[in-house]
Amino acid sequence: MNTALNQYAAAYPELAAAMPGQGLSWLQQLRADAFTQFASHGFPSPREEDWRYTNVSALEKKAFNPVSAATTSFVDADCLKQYQLADAWSLVLVDGRFDARLSNIQGLPDAVQVMAMAEALQLHAGQVASYFGKAVDTAEHGFIAFNNAWFTDGVFVHIPAGQILAKPIQCLHIVTQEGSLATTRNVLVLGDHASAQWVETFVGADVGYLSATVTEAFVGQNAELTAYKVQCESAKAYHFGGLYIKQARDARCIQHNFAFGGLLARTDIRADLEQAAECELNGLYLGVKRQHIDNHTRINHVQSHATSRQLYKGVLDDRARGVFQGRVVVAEQAQKTDSNMSNRNLLLSADAEVDTKPQLEIYADDVKCGHGVTIGQLDEKSVFYLQSRCIDEATARNMLTFAFANEMVDKVTLPTLKALLLQFLLKHFPQNSYVD
Amino acid sequence: MLSIKDLTVNVNDKKILKGINLEVKAGEIHAIMGPNGSGKSTLAHVLSGKSGYEVTGGSVTYQDKDLLDMPPEIRAREGVFLAFQYPVEIPGVSNVYLLKAALNAIRKYNGLDEVDAMDFLMLVKGKVKALEMDEKFLYRAVNEGFSGGEKKRNEILQMAILEPKLCILDETDSGLDIDALKIVADGVNSLRSPDRSFIMVTHYQRLLDYIKPDFVHVLAHGQIITSGGPELALELEEKGYGWLEDGQVAA
Ligand SMILES: Nc1ncnc2c1ncn2[C@@H]1O[C@H](COP(=O)(O)OP(=O)(O)OP(=O)(O)O)[C@@H](O)[C@H]1O
Ligand SMILES: [Mg+2]
């Protein structure tokens, strides 16, 4: 075992004794296997193809530790307001633990189950067991193993068949303490024909911490999920988050991934598509200073007639580095697959960098698959055109960059979230005023 | 208003403009004609400050100021407007947003407050109507997916709102159908005033039928080889440029 990992592994036995799901043999087994896997392999290494561009060795040098429940600091409800959607049912996780006091699920239909993962493991263990680890397993990579072994809490959401939720459910992850490790595990289930909007927001105090999270989502037949991830971690934080979606026949899923924060941030999004499922993945990453922002997508076309669309846009400034690796795998029986993947990058400084790697793996013969990548600077013709219309150069560049990024915010259908994201963009590109 | 003296310009070390002389007084309309590749758009671009052009000699004075010394946006705020031969598409920036930003930039430059939102809308809608454009164009991204003629009309809309002092129209007539040409020409004519001047680059007499120029110049091989009144355009329409380029230039 890598000696650097000792600090995580050495601390584990004591931590494990206090983790949720003690009495559950399936979970204990899963944790033990995950720990063994992590203890021998550690965090992913740049030698792994999927981690070539993102070196996580910094995590091994620092020791991030879970915060014990007792020391969880008070989070001001006012401070949450800037991230909390006014029109959503909200679930708040502070330093890796569900906080009932800050959460609000008033008016949620009775048939919908929403609770802390720790509680779900006590009250509905059988139900959790039928989903937990079914969308992603320990073998995926080091952070999944780590999450399986280390998770302290999360949320469990079950929306029964036919249930259409009028309001979105927001899961707000907050980390408040320097050096802390917040490892959360969420399970989201939509029964057949159900419909829901799911927003995961990640924020933190202006300190260094590690936020490691995994969400498994199961979208039933003909069900519809609109999922958002808004990653606004502290500029000193490490963020590793995965969303693993299983879409049943005819299920529809649109996922919007906004990666704004973190010193080093990586998001993995995977969707497995059964027959005629539809999947749309949209992403926007904005990197400044020395940020490293990595986004990985993978769409598995398992059965025929499914469609997938991906559009990821990146804006990198200063010395920031962006990574996009998108993989579409079309299985032999997945005939009539219709898939398109596009990644467009705007580099605003000579020191900014992006590594982009779209991959198609096609084993079926009757498919329509395309992909495209662009990496470029702002179009000088456009800059001049705006200047010739009285706009100064700096503002012109800002307008064009804002317009490039705003295309992704424009796709957001949830008005409150859209407004919040727009605020963020305007702060990021300050010379813009917005008129509608 | 505008005085161009012995202007020489290189593009990528190639001489494109080889000594242009042109005097434009307030209220005048000058038409510039000439063969493809002779340097008409180059002249228009140099006047509006596009980069990539190296001025190797001569001067341009605009309202007693050195025009070449100003960055493009200052020229624009000072009243120089170029209606592009090939207007640029700007995805993600709506027409109305650009119009407002541009107008406010001028107002700020002139020490005025930002335009009132309602006043602005009234102004824009009035101009849109005059140019017989659909109001929907206001909310579309600048020129994105516009047809050739729609782009040209949009340039005139911008001009009508910004009310420049020196309007440079680079082949605004190309790509316009007959009805559109008339509408655009009406738009231009309604802007005519004793303190506003126009330089119109065109290949066709038909624009000049609607907007009668005071002077017609022929630009060939980077020089103005002849100048005259409106009748010169008619002559060119009939004879082409060959007789001029063969050296039979009237002194
Ligand atoms: N960036 C450039 N690099 C090289 N040559 C250029 C460049 N820009 C313009 N030129 C050349 O300069 C010459 C003049 O071009 P310009 O566009 O000014 O012609 P024009 O008179 O407007 O022609 P047209 O009537 O076809 O619009 C042409 O030969 C053109 O190829
Ligand atoms: Mg031209």
Whose atoms come closest to the Cα of B223: which ligand? 1
The atom number, within ligand 1, closest to the CA of B171 reads: 27
pLDDT at B247: 53
pLDDT at A70: 52
Query: Using a CB-CB distance cutoff of 8 angstroms, which residues of chain B are in contact with residue A392?
Result: 71, 73, 105
Cβ-nearest to B100 among A384, A387, A435: A435
CATH T-level topology, domain B2-250: Rossmann fold (3.40.50)
Q: How far is B236 from chain A (nearest CA, A)?
A: 32
Residues 6+ apart with CB under 8 A from B232: B216, B218, B226
Taking only the tens of pLDDT, chain A with its 436 residues reads 455 557 888 889 889 998 999 899 999 999 999 999 999 999 999 899 999 999 998 888 888 988 876 555 667 767 777 889 999 999 999 999 999 999 999 999 999 999 999 999 999 999 999 999 999 999 899 999 999 999 999 999 999 999 999 999 999 999 999 999 999 999 999 999 999 999 999 999 999 999 999 999 999 999 999 999 999 999 999 999 999 999 999 999 999 999 999 999 999 999 999 999 999 999 999 999 999 999 999 999 999 999 999 999 999 999 999 999 999 999 999 999 999 999 999 999 999 999 999 999 999 999 999 999 999 999 999 999 999 999 999 999 999 999 999 999 999 999 999 999 998 888 887 655 543 3
Cβ-nearest to B93 among A380, A388, A399: A399
DSSP B137: H
Q: Which of residues 83-112 of B touch A (CB under 8 A)?
A: 84, 87-88, 90-93, 96-98, 100-103, 105-106, 109
Nearest to A316 by CA among A348, A350, A357: A348
Q: What is the pTM of this model?
A: 0.91
- Walk along chain B (251 residues) in steps of 10 and give the mean pLDDT of each run: 96 94 96 92 96 95 96 97 95 94 95 94 94 92 92 94 96 88 90 95 89 93 91 83 62 35
Residue A257, SS3? Answer: strand
Q: Which of B88, B110, B159 would you mutate first to test chain A, the one with the most A CBs within 10 A?
A: B88
| ipTM here | 0.95
Integer Cα distance of B121 and B117 in angstroms:
6
Strand spans (E) along B85-236: 90-94, 141-142, 166-170, 197-201, 215-220, 223-228
**Residue A143 contacts residue A243 (beta carbons within 8 Å):** no
Tell me the one-letter amino acid at B167: C
Q: Residue A201: in which H helix or E strand, if any?
A: strand A195-204
Q: Is A380 on the interface with B (CB under 8 A)?
A: yes
Cβ-nearest to A389 among B92, B98, B109: B98
In this structure, the strands spanning A113-116 and A155-159 are: antiparallel
Break chain B into its structural domains and give their ranges.
2-250
Rounded to 5 degrees, φ, ψ at A20 are -65, 155
pLDDT at B149: 87
Break chain A into its structural domains and give their ranges.
3-274, 378-436
**Residue A239 contacts residue A211 (beta carbons within 8 Å):** yes
Integer Cα distance of B220 and B243 in angstroms:
12
* For ligand 1, mutation pick of B18, B20, B42 (most atoms within 8 Å of CB): B42
Q: Which of residues 396-425 of A touch B (CB under 8 A)?
A: 396, 399-400, 402-404, 406-407
Query: Using a CB-CB distance cutoff of 8 angstroms, which residues of chain B are in contact with residue A313?
Result: none
Rounded to 5 degrees, φ, ψ at B176 are -95, 135
Integer Cα distance of A140 and A146 in angstroms:
11
